[in-house]
Chains A and B, each alone.
Chain A
Amino acid sequence: MANRIPRVPVREQDPKVRATNFEEVCYGYNKEEAMLEASRCLNCRNPRCVTACPVGLQIPRFIAEVAAGNIAGAAAVIAEDSSLPAVCGRVCPQETQCEGSCVLGVKGEPVAIGKLERFVADYSREPAGSSPLETSGCAGPLPSDDGSLPLTMPRVARFPEGTASQASRKKVAVIGSGPAGLACASDLAKWGYDVTIFEALHKAGGVLEYGIPEFRLPKEKVLRHEVDAVRALGVKIETNVIIGRTITIDALMDQEGFEAVFIGTGAGLPKFMNIPGENLCGVFSANEFLTRNNLMKAWREDYLTPIHPGKKVCVVGGGNVAMDAARTALRLGADVHIVYRRTEAELPARREEVHHAIEEGIIFDMLTNPVEVFGDEKGWVKALRCIRMELGEPDASGRRRPVPIPGSEFEIPTETVIMALGTSPNPLISKTTKGLDTNRWGCLVADEAGATTRPGVFAGGDAVTGAATVILAMGAGRTAAKAIDEYLKAK
């Protein structure tokens, strides 16, 4: 039956070719492929995939619509719970969430839920075929209910039982336009609140804009469209406003009439190793390197932003950000090494990203930890001095602790060192807002519903948890939206 069909493979750009460009790696399914893949779903009575999804997407329902060829219907199902399907379909760690819980995965391959979500979003945006390899003859635009063409994701004004009526135009401020803020703002706007997002940078999207590279998440085609869809719900986005500097939360609430505030400011502060030579020219945080290339488009000839990858680059770290920085440097023409102190089994990055990086020719130096950066007489990096590691007893994270092997130091000649060691929340807001507690890692203290220690102020995403994923931030944004709704109704 259906589950005997093997998982439909997804077409990707050739690794040798894509290593030299910033075009998207994965082409996604066409309609035929998507319908075939959708037919594999068993439509379980107790769908574990839904429970495993931080935003509770109605996965079997939308997949059933895809299987029936009703893509507009599938988009409507997704829009009930997510405003960023084209983003999530691309960057979610499905293997540990929805797909990791899929019953089909027990004996074989799980349904490609992420690729299906992406297909629905892409097809809704560009019905005539979003993929350059689109071959399916049936990929014509489908009329929606009112007969018009579904040019955008359907807008769903959903008022769950017991939530505020659309008449209540209470003002809510959302700080940060990343995944947490966009998800929170979308739900609140659907429920009738007057929502303004304040963004510190000049473009909305947060880490989706400055952090995740073009080849994983195209900015103009995909991200802009989803941010515009949030705007279309009535959400206002004010860029170039740094809360804590341009205006404080106190002033927003006392002088501008905002009755509740959601803080979704992420984890933006880069970590360094505090080893000698870290301030040499040619040592960058992954944040700087990626921001220059993504937000500031250094890879494009028509932008003025300078970037300096050099011919050889060492990226220190093993997470998704390290993979992004390494693959970006590669595309800018460098030979790239990833230096990681544990082994491949412990790499925190998604399997797919590691696999893509290896395919593209990134070299992994495992069980290797930097101890010093050496510079030339002009103050530029010339080598990274490292020490070999071995795995010892498990540490607090459950992973085996890397231990240095005495006397094993060696040097990797390199022009550039990119530190991708993780990030922590920015203290700008916690330092300038009365009554807002943080823990010893600088994360905002918030309860499960997102309420902080200050009444009327809620928070979620990386600002509360420390660096995590896009989808967890979206989930936290939605949870906080419910809590804000309850708070404002009781007020």
Chain B
Amino acid sequence: MYQILKKEMLTPTICRMEVKAPRLAAAAQPGQFLIVRADEQGERIPLTISDFDAEAGTVTIVTQEVGASSADIIALEPGEGFSDVVGPLGLPSEFMEMGPEQLSSMRYIFIAGGVGTAPVYPQAKWLHAHGIPVDVIIGAKTKDLLIYKEEMAAVCDNLFLCTDDGSEGFHGMVTALLEKLVATDGRQYTQAVAIGPMIMMKFTTLTAKKLGLPITVSLNTLMVDGTGMCGACRVSVGGKTRFACVEGPEFDGYQVDFDEAMRRQGQYKAEEAEANEKHKCKIGRGK
């Protein structure tokens, strides 16, 4: 069992947990993800790594309740644990492979959407610690869903917030804010990185393209094993089929076929809806 040491609800549906997984914590790098299984009957759920501490042997994960499996994860309490936690999976962020010279020429803008804010944190943290300029946009539907505000402010040069309803920060979507920062305010970036819902990454990529800004996206595709075995995660990148679990999760946004990726992500929607119904019945019976 992989014990949960801390648990905190960041919003009524988004939960942050610190989990004991020493081997994983020692190997994790920014940009990578992991897979958890709540219990024997549970699915293997890929989650981003939002922090790691090799010395303490812990990793931090952030989960949003979207269905039966994520509800099972959020129901776990400190002292309890996951039956399985495995990783780190995927390749580390692109900048981890850059030489000092290339790295020193970079100016990053991260665009974080909803629960996708969590995996931006370790990336911004690493760049900030290495003296690379980093700005971050965090966007959400409304102010109650903005997460990681204080944490992120501590690891970036400028933090920009936006909400769809204007309840906090810029009134509008991340795409409008990005366009304002670059086109109106004249801020200079060499690289954008977008992490969030697939639809948000699609439109952020379109905006970045319009602004002539290279953009990296981190794809949260369906996965089973996470090691290249099943191919559930395949995406078309530049017309070629790639496995997001081993060749990603980061890809050049310009090259990704987002429409196909969104369709593939929704492949089990009918089955999931059924599972959620059953799950609610189960919970009802228990109480």
Taking Cβ atoms with an 8 Å cutoff, the residues of A that contact B are 200-202, 210, 239-242, 245-247, 268-270, 272, 274, 278-279, 281-282, 284-285, 287-288, 291-292, 296-297, 302-308, 378-379, 426, 428
Contacts and interface: CB of A to CB of B under 8 A. Distances in A.
Given A240-B86, A268-B229, A292 B224 contact: yes
A251 to B, nearest CB: 9
Residue with the greatest number of chain A CB neighbours at <10 A, chosen from B241, B263, B275: B263
Contact of A307 (B68, B228, B271): B271
A428 B24 contact: no
Residue with the greatest number of chain A CB neighbours at <10 A, chosen from B88, B229, B234: B229
Contact of B263 (A268, A379, A426): A379
A246 B87 contact: yes
A274 B270 CA distance: 28
Interface in B5-28: 23-24, 26-27
A291 B225 contact: yes
A303 B88 CA distance: 25
A291 B263 contact: no
B24 A246 contact: yes
A378 to B, nearest CB: 7
Residue with the greatest number of chain B CB neighbours at <10 A, chosen from A241, A268, A288, A428: A288
The 10 closest A-B pairs by CB, nearest first: A306-B271, A288-B230, A379-B263, A240-B86, A306-B268, A202-B84, A285-B231, A268-B229, A281-B267, A303-B41
B86 A200 contact: yes
B interface SS class: mixed
Contacts of B84: 202, 239-240
A446 to B, nearest CB: 21
Nearest to A375: B263
B1 to A, nearest CB: 11
A interface SS class: loop
Contacts of A272: 231, 241
A173 to B, nearest CB: 13
Residue with the greatest number of chain B CB neighbours at <10 A, chosen from A200, A245, A268: A245
A50 to B, nearest CB: 35
16 contacts: A240-B85, A242-B86, A246-B24, A246-B86, A246-B87, A246-B88, A247-B23, A268-B229, A269-B229, A281-B263, A284-B231, A285-B230, A297-B41, A303-B41, A304-B42, A426-B228
B260 interface: yes
B104 interface: no
Interface size class of B (residues with CB under 8 A): 35 or more
A291 B227 contact: no
Contacts of A306: 43, 268, 271-272, 275
Given A246-B87, A246-B88, A279-B260, A426 B229 contact: yes
B24 A305 contact: no
B87 A304 contact: no
Given A246-B86, A306-B275, A268 B260 contact: no
A291 B264 contact: no
Residue with the greatest number of chain A CB neighbours at <10 A, chosen from B37, B72, B87, B230: B230
Given A202-B37, A242-B89, A270-B229, A296 B44 contact: yes
A268 B227 CA distance: 9
